[in-house]
Structure 1
Amino acid sequence: MKSVRTKLIASILICSLFTSVLIGVIAISNSVRTAGKDAMTMMQLTGQKKTEEINSTIQKIEQSVDTLSEVAMSNFDYDSFRQSKDYADTYTETVQQAVLDFANHTNGAVTAYLRYNPDYSNPTSGVFAQRQSVDSELQCLTPTDFSMYDESDVEHVGWYYLPVQAKKAIWMSPYMNENINIYMISYVVPLFAEDGTSIGIVGMDIDFSQITDLVDETKVYQSGYAFLTDASAAVMYHKNADEGTKLSDLDSSLSKSADFIGDDGNQGKTMDYSYKNVNKKFAFYNLDNGMKLVLTAPVSEIYSEAYGLAKMIILAMIVAFILSAVIGIVMGTGLTKPIRQLTSVIEQTAALDFRPTEAGAKLRKQKDEIGDMATKIHDMRKKLRAMMENLQQTQQVLETNTGNLNQLMKQNSAYAEDNSAATQELAAGMEETSANAAHIVENVGIMRESSDNIQRLAEDGEKNSGQIQERAGEMERISTESRHKTDQMYAVMKQKTDAAVEQAKSVQKINALTDNIKQISSQTNLLALNANIEAARAGEAGRGFAVVASEIGDLATQTLDTVSTIDEIVGEVNSSVSNMTECLTTIMEFLEQTVLGDYEHFAQVGEQYHADADTFQQIMQQTKEAVDALEQHIGEISSTVSEINSMVEQSTDGISGIAEKSGSTQNLVTEGYDKLQECTQSVNVIRDFVAQFHLD
């Protein structure tokens, strides 16, 4: 059977492990989720910040071109433009410097141009200023000749017709200017008259590095980066992929990237994919030029902080579990030590050892339920010890009384045997006397003939009467002494028996004390039940306490079992005391009703027998005195002999009755002796029972 300490420590360890794992899982889950959110937030902030920077650059370019378009059209005469193709060339001279100024003040502007609708102007009319390198000055060059290209030739004149057809300012796709070897992107604003007629366009070609440098500066975690795509997820700028490459062509996990990027509602959200066997996430942000700024980073780097935090939480969880285990062992040992000591006291009580213990004294000083229980058990042991001391004293008194009674019964038995032997001898003498009397009657004739024989017979009768008188006196003396001793023995036995029976009644107090113990055990069980209910309400935090409460309930049950055992033993003691009381009562009734009466009768018979012996002696004396006058008084002798014969017969009957009474007395004495032996056995049982208790 596992100890309470083991169960309590195991419960604490299990609760600690469960709590640590639960808290660890929750902490790891929350930390990973929070760190993931933080990582996504940081990624979003990076994207938003970089988007703002790029859009700021784009907006500056757009603002510059838009302002240039307004300046260019501020003094434009539409009617003159429609009436003469030369008007465009004339007007160009007035705005050419403005175009150059705006281009010089626009970062990254490589080319600036103002072109007119070829339907109302010459094919090469307008302004076209270009740098030969990024650092060189703008130079005015001959504009592209529209007459050389068809409107559908997007490659050469798409920069003009696409914005006009769109009827709004647009950003053209980046392209490589082979003439100056610069990768550029164009922003073009179409110009319209109030009636909607196309006048021309104003635009600038911007060094694409103005945007790509900002993209390259974007750092997402350790190895993450940014790139540009269009709305269809085609690469506009990527350090590892060519322009125009579809993201779906890079890896099968990007098959849905076009749908994802094409939905503006997904802006700022992430999509998982794999590239070169590395799990990654990307998020996109819309740029003002219609491109998508895409940020990508490995998942391991995004969640690196979360993984590190998870490792720290796991380490902290292990440390917390170890500390909880140490604390649990210390607490379990400390909490169960009083219970083990209390169990030791209860086991000592169950072993009928009521000697005081140091552990019990320490437990009673505790100001908790253990201290209360130890106090109650101490009170119980104290009362049981007092009862057993009383029972031990009662057993000693009973043992002494039964020993004395045994000696008296032995003496009484010896006296009864002597009386029986004496009555038997007396009966034999009376039978002999009766036979002699009959012989005298039968031979009365011979007595008349021989006075000598009569004289001899008279002398023999006188001698016999003397013996009878002695025996009668002895019988009377023995009966008187026996009656006196029996009276004394009866008085002593009655006094001691009454005292022993009264003292034996103290055993009944044990029943009341065991009832009190049962009530205490019931209250303890109720307390354990309440503790279990409170522990159940406390949930997981109350399981250790619940185990302790269950063990206290088990201790109460053991106490109840011990009390039941004591009840059984006390029942045996009560039975033994009851048998002893019955035996003593039987003996006292026998002494009072039978033995005293018989000895009274013995005394009366002895007195009568003594009187008869005196009478017989007187008759023998008279017979001797009348021997000389035998002849004269032969008739009287015959009559006297008849009377003697009748008296002898009566004496014989009386003596036979005395013999029977003596035999009955002997039987009753034997029966009383047997009852005394039963009482002695009961006293031995009590002595053995008391010997089981250790009081000192």
Structure 2
Amino acid sequence: MIKLLSSKLPFRNAGKTGPEKQKKSILASIFSFFSKRLVVRIITLIVSVVLVGNIILLSYVVGTMRAGKLDEEIRITESLANEKARSIEIFIENVTGYTKYFQQMMIIQRISRILQRSEVRTILERNLDSSPEHIFGMYVLGEAKAADEIDVSFVNSDLGDSKGRIRLHVIKHYNRLGNINPYLLDPDHPTNADDTEAYSHIKQTIKPYITSPYVVEEGDKQYTVIAYSMPITTNGTDFHGIVGTEMYADHFSSLVKEATQEIGMSGLVMDNGEILSYGSDTGYEGRNISSYLSKDLMAAYQEAKEKGSTVSKLSYADKKLYCFSPVTIPGTDIRWIFWSEIPIDGIMNEVNTFTSIVILISIATLLIVLIVASLLVSRQIRPIKVLTGHIERFANADFTSSIPANLRKRKDEIGKLASSTEKMQQSVSEIIRNVRVQADEVAEAVATVRNYINNLHLSIETISANTQQLSAALTDTNGSAENMNKAVSDLTQVVDTIRSNAEKGNISSMEIRNRAQEVFNKVRLSSSENQKMQEATKKRLEEAIREADSIHQITLLLDNIMAVASQTNLLSLNAAIEAARAGKAGAGFSVVAEEIRKLATQSRNSASQIQDISNLVLLSVTHLSESANDLLRYFETNVKESFKLLDQTGEQYNRDAALYQEMSLKLASTAETLSNAITALKDTLMKVVSATNDGAQGAAVIAEEASRILAGSENVLTKAITADESAARLKDAVSMFVIPE
């Protein structure tokens, strides 16, 4: 298929045309290749449907698996993130235990005054010495008279600031041997001032508070710490100072580093949005979370912070899964956020592997479908190609080929189509065979009529010639009668002349009688032959017309063909509707239905052409029938009457000739009574002249009628020639069809 397609593409002329024309030519060649090959279109449709189905199935399976994998990873990540957030909360809660202890101690001290300031310092140092390594310091920062009533005694001392207020702040100090020696900071140290973050906030809110990381400087050393502080109050509204515990900020970095190793890149954000720690080696830098996360991720961060529950968010731009878990600071409404980042590529490795396998399976399935579809469609299209070849031969007027028996024996639509095509071929062949026979018979009948008309034409010409001779003879008889009249006038002078004229009259009368008898016999014979010819012609014409009526059977058969074609067209339309309902799956069947509809249309057009030819034959037969009927009526009304008149005139003329002969004999035998008979002879001669004139007039009438009959016979002969030509055209039209013998 690829080789055939490449042979049709105009690569040889690519250098002679522009790129645009070459592209259009290639597209036109590809379109022509597909439009002329039904098998390729059907296979392409099937493969396209399978391909689309595979794509949809693959998308669904991969999407479902991807979603399931993501949901599973989200659940796992959220669980781990929650676990780490809870561990941070527990860590802070352990630290708050020391602060709560100091709070209760100072509340009791505020009420009962049982401890000295030095004892409070000792308690702080002992607790710090025994505290875990992540605790940096502990402090009690009181207002005036928060610890005792003698603030004045401690002004600018180790146990009091410049105002004498208790300002005890003990931190860890490691000696050279690595042992802890609690170290008391100067009461006026910046971390002990009233304007520190923790002191000012708690004084305003009377609520526990955890600070942002801050730096504690002591000598040449700096420590970054976070403090958890609680107010010193007796009734919940009065403020007497704060107590607190300081933690190394780096310890939170170790917790985040541990989470990064277990979960993935992780971070811890404080309530103000500052990143406390991120990843394995990034500590507190004062960087805000808004400079790191996008707007969508910031929305998820805020949601987790506000709801107090874990929120996960996929970022396809970063190709990461973000999980935000709140860390609630005990005793406060402050929430830190612990978040982790999981690369999607790592999550999707299993999904991608499965997708690759499914794609390979889909490609293999597509190739198998392509091969199977090619075999099945080629097998189904092959009978249609065979039927198409037969129908094309039928369209070219060749009905000699036969539909293979294996196609007609099929039980499906192709078998029905093959059987219908076979029946159509047989019906049309039988119609054409009958038309040929009828055309030959019509041609034979037309030839016979033409011969009869030619003979009639010759007979009428003979009658016309005889009529002219009869007219000449009557003219001679009229002259003879006038001579006889003159002779009778001179009878008194020359009797011999009278006798001689009588003998001549006798001879002339014999000739006249013989001629009259001859004319009479010829007229009778012509009348009899005309009657026989008329009856024979009428009989043959009636038989030819009856036989020509069989052409009407062609019209009935053609109506059946038209009905079959219409039914086939209707079936193809129904098939196209069902294919349209089926959508893409039925598009191949829609193409087959369209081809069947075209074949039905071609069959109907061929039947219409045959019907036109049949109508032409019927029209010719009708014209022939009308012409023959006109001829028969003409014979019946004109020629027959003319012969009857000729017959009567001949009979009268024969009687007159006999009388003339009898008179001549009497004249010869009774010459002595000539004078008495002159008068009678004159009367007789006058009658002869009158009869001769009547005979001449009758001969003229007969000649005129014969001329009209001759003109009518020429008209009939012309129509017979036209009918012969119509029959020849009918035979030529029928000869175009090739049918089996």
Q: Same fold (TM over 0.5)?
A: yes
Secondary structure, aligned partner of 2:738 = coil
**Secondary structure at 1:236's aligned position in 2?**
strand
Q: How far apart, in 2, do the equivalents of 1:475 and 1:273 lie? A: 128
Partner of 2:533: 489
8 Å contact from structure 1 (residues 8, 544) kept in 2: no
Q: For residues 316 and 58 of structure 1, what CA distance do their matches in structure 2 show?
A: 49
Matched residue, 1:636:
677
Q: For residue 144 of structure 1, what is the aligned residue in structure 2?
A: 183
Supply the distance in 2 between the matched residues of 1:286 and 1:54 (Cα, whole angstroms): 10
Name the CA shift for 1:456/1:325 in 2 (closer, same or farther; >3 Å): farther
SS of the residue 1:227 aligns to: strand
2 CA distance for matches of 1:178 and 1:693? 123
Task: State how far apart, in whole Å, the 2-side matches of 1:548 and 1:291 are.
Answer: 71
- Give the drift of 1:616: 3.9
Q: Alignment partner for residue 191 of structure 2, among 127, 140, 153?
A: 153
Q: Does 1:438 align with 2:482?
A: yes
- Distance change >3 Å, CA 524–CA 7, structure 1 → 2: same
Amino acid at match of 2:274: A
For residues 343 and 622 of structure 1, do their structure 2 counterparts lie closer, same or farther at Cα, with a shift above 3 Å needed? farther
Q: Deviations over 1:612-655 (max 9, x none)?
A: 4444444444444x2xx524434325633641452354145235
Report the counterpart of residue 679 of structure 1 in structure 2. 723
| Structure 2 match to 1:295 | 340
1:54 aligned to 2:84? yes
Structure 1 pair 235/531, CA: closer, same or farther in 2 (3 Å)?
same
Could you tell me whether the CA contact under 8 Å between 2:43 and 2:370 is conserved in 1? Answer: yes
Q: Is the contact between residue 510 and residue 570 of structure 1 (CA under 8 Å) also seen in structure 2?
A: yes
Shift of 1:407: 2.3
Distance 1:254 1:408 in 2: 114
Equivalent residue number for residue 472 of structure 1? 516
3-state SS in 1 of match to 2:549: helix
Residues of 2 paired with 1:379 and 1:247: CA distance? 91
Correspondent of 1:226 among 251, 266, 286 = 266
**Percent identity, aligned pairs only?**
21
**Equivalence map 1:570-585=2 (5 Å):** 570-585=614-629
Change (3 A) 1:259 1:393: closer
Partners of 1:283 and 1:294 within 8 A in 2? yes
Matched, 1:83 2:126: no
Does residue 394 of the first structure (1) align with residue 438 of the second (2)? yes
Q: Distance in 1 between matches of 2:316 and 2:460?
A: 124
For 1:192-591, what aligned pairs fall within 5 Å after superposition?
Answer: 207-208=251-252, 210-218=254-262, 220=264, 225-238=265-278, 243-247=284-288, 261=301, 264-265=305-306, 268-270=311-313, 283-287=323-327, 291-296=336-341, 352-358=397-403, 364-369=408-413, 371-372=415-416, 375-376=419-420, 378-591=422-635
1:383 is displaced (CA, Å) by 3.7
Give the AA of the match of 1:464.
Answer: S
Summarize deviations over 1:534-572 as a string: whole Å, max 9, x none. 444444544444454455445544444444444433332
Q: 2:671 is paired with a residue of what secondary structure?
A: coil
CA distance in 1, matches of 2:439, 2:242: 139
Residue type matched to 1:636 in 2?
A
Amino acid in the other structure paired with 1:358:
I
- Once the two structures are superposed, residues 373-394 of structure 1 have per-residue CA deviations (whole angstroms, 9 ceiling, x without a partner) of 5545554554444344333323
Give the Cα–Cα distance (whole angstroms) in 2 for the partners of residues 635 and 563 of structure 1: 93
Q: CA deviation at 1:475?
A: 2.9
In structure 2, C-alpha distance between the alignment counterparts of 1:373 and 1:72, rounded to whole Å: 104
Q: Residue type matched to 2:435 in 1?
A: L
> Once the two structures are superposed, what CA deviation does each residue of 1:107-131 show, in whole Å capped at 9, x if it has no partner?
xx35587777786599599998777
Residues 672 and 208 (structure 1), Cα distance of their counterparts in 2 relative to 1, 3 Å cut = closer
Write the letter of the residue equivalent to 1:640.
L
DSSP 3-state at the match of 1:149:
coil
Aligned partners of 1:338, 1:9: CA distance in 2, in Å? Answer: 16
CA RMSD of aligned residues (A): 5.4
Structure 1 residues 57 and 450, CA, compared in 2 at 3 Å: closer, same or farther?
Answer: same
CA 1:392–1:652 in structure 2 vs 1: closer, same or farther (change >3 Å)? farther
Q: Taking CA–CA contacts closer than 8 Å with sequence separation of 6 or more, which of the two structures ends up with the larger relative contact order?
A: 1
Instruction: Report the alpha carbon displacement of residue 590 of structure 1 after superposing the two structures with TM.
Output: 2.6
Are the aligned partners of 1:58 and 1:288 in contact in 2 as well (CA < 8 Å)? no
With 318-327 and 496-505 compared, the bigger mean Cα shift is at 318-327
> Does structure 2 retain, via aligned residues, the 8 Å contact 1:536–1:542?
yes
Structure 2: stretches of 5+ with no match in the other structure:
1-30, 149-157, 160-166, 330-334
Cα pair distance change 1:58/1:77, threshold 3 Å: same
CA contact (8 A) 2:325 2:339 kept: yes
Q: Match of 2:28?
A: none
Inter-CA distance 338–273: structure 2 relative to 1 (3 Å threshold): closer
- The range that moved more, 392-401 or 578-587, is 392-401
| Partner amino acid, structure 1, of 2:84 | I
- What's the counterpart of residue 669 of structure 1? 713
One-letter identity of the residue aligned with 1:578? T
Instruction: Kindly state the Cα deviation for residue 228 of structure 1 after the two structures are TM-superposed.
Output: 3.2
Question: Could you say what secondary structure the match of 1:228 adopts?
Answer: strand
Aligned counterparts of 1:160 and 1:81: Cα–Cα separation in 2 = 26
Q: Distance in 2 between matches of 1:654 and 1:327?
A: 104
Residue 623 of structure 2 aligns with an amino acid whose one-letter code is N
In structure 2, do the counterparts of structure 1 residues 242 and 410 end up closer, same or farther at CA, with 3 Å as the change threshold? same
Name 2:13's counterpart in structure 1.
none
Q: How many residues align?
A: 671
Which residue of structure 2 aligns with residue 106 of structure 1?
Answer: none
Equivalence for 2:163: none
Maintained 8 Å contact 1:483/1:599: yes
Shift of 1:579: 0.8
Letter in 2 for 1:145: L
Deviation at 1:320, TM superposition (A): 8.6
Work out whether residues 234 and 247 of structure 1, in 8 Å CA contact, stay in contact via their aligned partners in 2. Answer: yes
CA offsets 1:258-302 (integer angstroms, 9 cap, x no match): 78745514853448699xxx8877553334565433434678878
- Structure 1 distance, partners of 2:316, 2:183, is 45
Residue 404 of structure 1 aligns to a residue whose secondary structure is helix
Q: Which amino acid aligns with 2:681?
A: T
1:597-676 paired onto structure 2 within 5 Å:
597-624=641-668, 626=669, 629-636=670-677, 639-640=680-681, 642-654=683-695, 656-665=697-706, 666-667=709-710, 668-676=712-720
Preserved contact between residue 69 and residue 202 of structure 1 (Cα < 8 Å) = yes
Conservation of the 8 A alpha-carbon contact between 1:402 and 1:679: yes
Distance 1:204 1:450, change over 3 A: closer
Offset at residue 580 of structure 1 (A)? 0.9
In 2, the alpha carbon distance for the partners of 1:445 and 1:454 equals 10
State the secondary structure of the residue aligned to 1:413.
helix
Separation (CA, whole Å) in 2 of partners of 1:563 and 1:547: 24
The answer (yes or no) to whether the contact 1:430–1:648 under 8 Å persists in 2 is no
Cα 1:265/1:541, change in 2 over 3 Å: farther
Greater Cα offset, 676-685 or 498-507? 676-685
TM-score w.r.t. length of structure 1 = 0.75
**Rounded Cα–Cα distance in structure 1 between residues aligned with 2:547 and 2:631:** 19
- Counterpart-to-counterpart distance in 1, 2:417 and 2:316: 69
Kept after mapping to 2: 8 A contact 1:236/1:244: yes
Q: Report the AA paired with residue 448 of structure 2.
A: N
SS of residue in 2 equivalent to 1:153:
helix
